[in-house]
Amino acid sequence: MKISFAKPHLPAEGALIVGVLEGKTLTPTARTLNELTGGGLERAMTAGRFLGKKDQTLVVLAPAGAPLARVVLVGLGKAESVDAQAAQSFGGTGLAAVLTSGDAACAIACDDFDGLKLPAAEFAANAAFGARLRSYRFDKYFTKEKKEDKPSVRKLAVLTDAGGAKAAFAPLDAVADGVFLTRTVVSEPANVIHPESLADECRKLTALGIEVEVLGEKQMKKLGMGALLGVGQGSDRESQLVVMRWTGAGNPDAAPLALVGKGVCFDSGGISIKPAAGMEDMKWDMGGAGAVIGTLAALAGRKAKANVVGIVGLVENMPSGTAQRPGDVVRSMSGQTIEVINTDAEGRLVLCDALWYAKERFKPSAMIDLATLTGAIVIALGTEYAGLFASNDRLAERIAAAGKAVDEPVWRLPLGEAYDKQLKSDIADMKNVGGREGGSITAAQFLKRFVADVPWAHIDIAGTAWSKKDTATIPKGASAFGVRLLDRLIAEHYEDKA
């Protein structure tokens, strides 16, 4: 879908999306249209019980007196509550109502309302961002999709008077590129995206100015990454560790922020094999790595003035004659030994070596890892909030604020000595599981043993990486949770200020 910006006008064809404030306040464009149709929009709103409540939609077909195929009225809610998120919802909800309508051309009226606190340029840019986010589809494997089920909208014209709208959209467009990359690699099945092919996807980021290095098993063995390698040893695919560096700060030597992602391209559970029901979901057990990859793409795409290094541990957790067994003891790169009680608690084994490597090699100012780490976080928080754990309060507060601002909310859970004790092993420095209780916390406690004194946060996205339903800006499927949050966090706290 091609997005362009133009001055407000009544389009001569296709679909027009217009926002309506609660109380049925129309924009200038909608008022013109209402007059042209002899009060048709107002009659339609009454007949359709349309009040302009947030995300309420009403499609008016072939309005008499106007050349348009359809007008989509989208409720914006109350004027004072229209923020960037609401503008994105407006764009996404409107786009969803026309995407497969048959219309190729679509315009979205972003006239300046009276009473909006959000500047008009921000409103228009965010409406375009929301529409673009919602336009995503992962449909490459449909060979028999009917024409009427396919998206018809080819171009979206954003109608606005605000001069800065296009410029305000440019960085958001780069973030959408990152989100789309994440959604695609997370959606791909595990026979297509496995450690080596996902590393290849990372290599493609060099086109954006990102330095990419891929370590194979031989190199990781040399580094002593026995924990990560143990997880991948049952797979026919070679494990990979990918380092992606974006050096955008004025001082290229300034300590980077490190983003570390769990990239389990398929998690069968290994010898501690998972039940069959739902196992297909474990193709997206690389959602943390996917978010890190997409974030790097977004940062490079908008030329962020920050130094950020993304490190993803890519493995496949499979049962086989060479697979790791319950009871095996592995030695991590840190030197600490781990008794593997359950081969399905593999994410922490991958992350512990990736975190240690990040710390040793890059001396980062902070480290944030993202991982679809535990089923327990889904029990605790459901699919609305991701779990946040941190060794540093300031970092935790910043992450929580960024998540709130972009509608990728996180909820902080505790860490503590008593939880850490649950990892005590009879024969090694630690075991890889605590008890059943507080499973997300003991998993985080495990990671904490590999970050030393670097300010660190862990975001457990097992409940949020995949969405079972459409929302205004996220079609069901891979959500790319984390990309917008990290992009915002970096924009606010890690970039050189002008």
Residues within the interface to Mn ion (CB under 5 A): 267, 344, 346
Site for Zn ion in 241-280 (CB under 5 A): 264, 267
Active site residue 274: yes
CA angle 130, 131, 134 (to 5 degrees): 85
Shortest CB 368 distance to Mn ion, Å: 21
Pick the closer one to Mn ion by CB: 19 or 270. 270
Q: What is the distance, to the nearest Å, from the Cα of residue 266 to the centroid of all Cα atoms in its chain?
A: 19
Shortest CB 182 distance to ligand BES, Å: 16
- C-alpha 461/C-alpha 482 separation (Å) is 8
- Using CB under 5 A, count the residues that bind Zn ion: 4
Pick the closer one to Mn ion by CB: 326 or 409. 326
Pick the closer one to Zn ion by CB: 50 or 466. 466
Shortest CB 419 distance to ligand BES, Å: 13
- C-alpha 94/C-alpha 72 separation (Å) is 7
Query: Which residue is nearest to ligand BES, using beta carbons?
Result: 375
Site for Zn ion in 282-311 (CB under 5 A): 285
* Helices H / strands E in the chain, number of each: 15, 20
Shortest CB 268 distance to ligand BES, Å: 10
Is residue 175 within 8 Å of residue 483, measured between CB atoms? Answer: yes
Among candidate residues 274, 305, 331, 412, the one labeled active-site is: 274
Shortest CB 147 distance to ligand BES, Å: 36
For residue 96, the partner it binds in ligand BES, Zn ion, Mn ion, none, with Cβ less than 5 to 8 A by kind, is none
Query: Which residue is nearest to Mn ion, using beta carbons?
Result: 344
For residue 352, the partner it binds in Mn ion, Zn ion, ligand BES, none, with Cβ less than 5 to 8 A by kind, is none
For residue 353, the partner it binds in Zn ion, ligand BES, Mn ion, none, with Cβ less than 5 to 8 A by kind, is none
Q: What is the distance, to the nearest Å, from the Cα of residue 27 to the centroid of all Cα atoms in its chain?
A: 33
Shortest CB 46 distance to Mn ion, Å: 55
Pick the closer one to ligand BES by CB: 177 or 267. 267
- Which residues fall within 8 angstroms of residue 484, CB to CB, at 6 or more apart? 175, 179, 406, 407, 408
Active site residue 2: no
Q: What is the distance, to the nearest Å, from the Cα of residue 81 to the centroid of all Cα atoms in its chain?
A: 25
Given CA atoms 163, 167, 168, 169 in this order, what sign does their dihedral have?
A: positive
- C-alpha 90/C-alpha 76 separation (Å) is 7
Give the pair of three-digit tokens for residue 371: 């991982």
| Interacting residues with ligand BES (CB under 6 A) | 267, 285, 342, 344-347, 372, 374-376, 378, 433, 439, 462
Is residue 347 within 8 Å of residue 262, measured between CB atoms? Answer: yes
- C-alpha 226/C-alpha 330 separation (Å) is 6
Is residue 491 within 8 Å of residue 201, measured between CB atoms? Answer: no
Pick the closer one to Mn ion by CB: 344 or 408. 344
Pick the closer one to Zn ion by CB: 267 or 339. 267
Given CA atoms 293, 137, 196, 228 in this order, what sign does their dihedral have?
A: positive
Per-residue binding letters, 321-350, with Zn ion (x by CB under 5 A): --------------------------x---
Q: What number of CA atoms fall less than 13 Å from residue 292's CA on the CB side?
A: 35
Catalytic sites, residue numbers: 274, 348
What residue ranges bind Zn ion (CB under 5 A)? 264, 267, 285, 347
